[in-house]
Each structure stands twice: as C-alpha cells, then as structure tokens.
Amino acid sequence: MKLSQELLNNLIDITSNSAIACYPYIGKNEKILADKAATDIMRDQLNKLNIKGEVVIGEGELDEAPMLYIGEKLGTGNGPEIDIAVDPVEGTNFVAKNLPGSMSVMAVSEKGNLFKAPETYMEKIATGNHIPKDTIDLDFTVEKNITNYSKASKKKLNEITVCLLDRPRHQKIINDLKRLNVNIKYISDGDVSGALLVSDKKFGVDIFMGIGGGPEGVIAAAALDKLNCKFQGRFLFNSNEDKVRAKRMGIKDLNKKYEINEIVRGQSIFCATGITPGDLMNGIVKKNGKYITETIVTYNKNILEIVKKETSIT
C-alpha cells in the first residue's frame, strides 16, 4: 500500500483546520480550551477519511485522556490501514500566552510501521543529513559528540549551535556545552519543533539533544526520517508503572537505544501547521476574510516543504 498524494493533501487540510481552531484562544490564557478545539476538529475530520486508522501516539490512554487516545480507531473503516501519531497543539502554553512556536502536528505511516511509544521521557539526539551516521551517539559524552561533529562539519566549536529544552535536568549538558564554548539555543517547550531545527542549515541549529517526551520523539523521528537526518532515542522510566505500561506496549528491552529506522519504517507523512509564528514557519494570519496558514511537510521527496493555504472564514 502506498500513502497517496490525496491522503497527504487531506492531512494538510486537517492540521491547518486544527490550527485555525486555536486562533480565538491565542493570548487568552486558555490552553485547555485551545487544545480541545484543535483536538475536536482533528478527530472529526480524520473520522471522515476513507481509512482504517489507529492512534499509536496520542494524548494518553483511554482512562487518562478522552481526546485522541492511544488505541482509538479513526476513519470510515474503508481504505488503507494506517498508524497515526497526533499532537493537536504542540506548545499549548505558547498559544495561551501568544508566544512563538506552537503548531498542530500529525504523522502517519503504513500499519505497524510507527513505534508505539509510552507516555514517558526519552533521551534524544539528532543532527542533519550532512553528517556521517556514526558521528553522534547517545552513548558518547557531550564533549565527544561535539568534537566529532566539529571534525565532520569542519566547524569550530564556537560556530556550533546546540538546541535543548531549558530544564534543570539538563544542567550538566549545559555546563559541558559552556565549557566547550558552544552556542546554546534554549527552548521552553516544543521539542518536536526543536528537533526539526537540525533539518536545514537555514535554521542555524547543528545538534538537538537532551531529555523530552517519548511520544514527541517518535513524531520528530517520523519527520527527520524522510530527510535522511540522524536521530537516536532511548526511553527513560521513572516508575514501575511506566515499565509495566511499556512492556504492555511491546517494549522488551527497557534500556534499548533506538535508531531512526527502528522508530519509523517504510512510507510516512509528517505535517505540522504553525499556530503562532516560530523558527520553522509562520503562524496563522487573518486577512481579507481568510485564514492564511503555513504547513511544513515531509513525505517521500527528501525535502522539507512549506505549503501555504488560504481558508475562508465562515
């Protein structure tokens, strides 16, 4: 089965409309209402597609999040079987406070080809497609990753930029980066978009690293895979409950380091529509009776494409 251009167009429409649903809540300090508005639109429109879809990355399990939960079936039941990963609003705080970088995100693959990630943390590292595969590794020290990258890219240490979440858990990484005189780009949320910054030199980020959400790691890998970028992830489990859930989802080796081709296989589609403007794309613009949106797309062309769409205000 091939993921069609028609399906791609439908997914662009869906993330665009989910983003637009958030527009009334930008800067209103109503992150829960914004998330619900985007989620309701995403579910409704996915259910109209001729697919046999199942959510493998969602907003928790059924008893935790009634909105697009893991295992939820979507679509008419007619058509191709696909796995679906959703984040209707990445950066709910950004929407609530009218800060840069929020977006509506979805990734799909052929059935069985998208990793089912538990709701737990993941250690991650990513870089672009211009660097040899073995240059960076989760098992290397920060210094080794940086010096390897420097040699491979022919950049001086003070010309390298690393992106990571601004969290206390990253203090050791931050100290090492500062000692090496490496530039740091801090992000407060949204590590899908943070990882995507390595995909093109124009974004000015060389390496993404640190600890963030496991589901977000899978979504980021789905985007970076089609761009031949490098990504590794390793789940971190803070409780026995997390470990039990992971085993129930089919994870046998809890310490395994996953390469990108183990997280997403075969064909996949990634779409992310900007809600508020960010490094990757513009946010929603309301002009002349229309909403203007920008969506970044990775498909089977090994390019990061930006699709601009105009939707009439109803």
**pLDDT (tens digit, 9 = 90+) per residue, 125-160?**
999 999 998 999 999 999 999 999 999 999 999 999
Using CA atoms, how far apart are residues 260 and 198, in angstroms rounded to an integer?
Answer: 14
Query: Measured between alpha carbons, how far apart are the two ends of the chain, in Å?
Result: 36
Strand stretches in the chain, DSSP E: 52-57, 73-74, 81-90, 103-110, 121-127, 161-165, 183-187, 207-213, 230-236, 258-259, 268-274, 285-287, 290-298, 305-312
Predicted local confidence at residue 304, as pLDDT:
81
In the chain, what are the domains? 5-111+267-312 (3.30.540.10), 121-263 (3.40.190.90)
Percent of the chain with pLDDT over 70: 96
**Confidence band, pLDDT 50/70/90 cuts, at residue 62:** very low
- Considering only CA atoms, which of 89, 93, 90 is closest in space to residue 22? 89
Residue given tokens 């983003």 in the structure block:
19
Place of tokens 């595969």: 133
- pLDDT at position 278 is 93
Q: Note the pLDDT tens digit of each residue in 219-260.
A: 999 999 989 999 999 999 888 888 888 888 888 889 999 999
pLDDT digits (tens, 9 = 90+) for 170-199: 999 999 999 999 999 999 988 899 999 999
Residue 137 exposure: Cα atoms within 13 Å on the Cβ side? 9
Predicted TM-score (pTM) of this structure: 0.93
